[in-house]
Amino acid sequence: MIHQLTNGFHYMQTQVCEAGEDAPWRSPEGRLSTQELLKREWNRGKRVCPLFSVFGIFNHLFVVDWLHCADQGVTADFLGNEFEYLVKNKMPGNNQEVRCEAFREHLLTYYDDNPEVTDRLKDFAIKSFKGSTKGKGKAPRLKGSASQIRALVRFGDQMAKRFLSDDDPIESAIKTAAHHLQNCYESLRSVNEGLSHTALHNSAKIFAIQYGALWKAHDYTRFWRPMPKMHMFLELCSSGTEPQKFWCYRDEDFGGSVARQSKMKGSWRRIKAFCRHALDLFKMKQHVPRLLTINE
């Protein structure tokens, strides 16, 4: 129940759920200027990012990254909750392990039917999506890389349409949310920019509204609990930009490649040793450039 949560926590989460066109954060008065943002963070005891000391750097220059707010954010949260509901209520079996294995068979069939999906979950078990029940408990969340989670959005929509009923309010809300989350991803590939911006904005709004309704229907417990990244997701989808043109998939991939290349056996040394090791391996794999002098 609501009284089981602190007022501050509940107020913060309620703000995250405000997805309508009349949400306070959508108005110009609801947005912070650079000075207001820095003052608020300073009052909260946070350190100010050194970037803001550079002349001409303002908060409106920064953009939200799709990989972190969607793939590793609201999408992972939604699919974790959806998969837990399906495994618990729609899969055959006398225990969680058997029901989870039945769900895994549907996942493998989806992968077989979609060979273009190359980023796949290596293993699927209860721990892949189930949240912790210790203490206050963590909300369900699908675990995997951003590309693996991204590839399962269509699967989540298909499973919702196949197993969930429109006659049940909870299941109808899950179906609607899954459908509009899929629409958000589809709009990223639309060639009609004007149409894709509108579709992304509307589908993200409906998705967030359904998510908040599901949290309310579960008495504001850990199930379907929206995280602050929901607000980031709504901001990005309402900005009228094209997230596929500035997401950081390449940056993340490059960082992972460098990390693998600089990996060393033994215990932790110094960052200088790892950097030198990475550069040595790079020099071993690359040809030394030749400098040619052109005679005039």
Q: What is the pLDDT of residue 244?
A: 81
Report the distance separating Cα 64 and Cα 178, nearest Å. 22
Residue-level pLDDT at 194? 61
Which of 85, 89, 126, 119 shows the shortest CA–CA distance to 104? 126
- Give 227's DSSP letter: P
Tell me what pLDDT residue 104 has: 94
Tokens 């589908």, residue?
203
With tokens 């954060």, the residue in question is 25
Structure tokens of 193? Answer: 């920019």
Is 95 within 8 Å of 174 (Cβ atoms)? Answer: no
| 236 SS3 class | helix
Residue carrying the six token digits 């269509």: 154
Identify the pLDDT of residue 24: 75
Q: Which of 64, 76, 142 is nearest to 103 (CA)?
A: 142
What pLDDT, on a 0 to 100 scale, did the predictor assign at position 166? Answer: 94
What span, in angstroms and rounded, lies between the C-alpha atoms of 83 and 96? Answer: 12
Could you please report the per-residue DSSP string of 243-292? GGGT--HHHHHHHHHHHHHT--SSS---HHHHHHHHHHHHHHHSPPPPP-
pLDDT at position 9, please? 36
Burial bucket for residue 5 (CB in 10 Å: 0-12, 13-18, 19+)? middle
Q: Where are the beta strands (DSSP E) in 137-257?
A: none
Q: Where are the domains of the chain?
A: 2-18+65-245, 249-280
Rounded-to-integer distance, Cα 197 and Cα 182, Å: 15
Cβ-in-10-Å burial (0-12, 13-18, 19+) of 200 comes to: buried
The sign one gets for the Cα dihedral 236, 238, 239, 242 is positive
Average pLDDT along the chain, 296 residues, taken 10 residues at a time: 34 60 75 87 87 88 88 95 94 91 95 93 86 66 92 96 95 96 88 74 93 91 89 88 78 68 63 77 76 67
pTM recorded for the entire structure: 0.78
Closest CA to 201 of 228, 234, 242, 154: 234
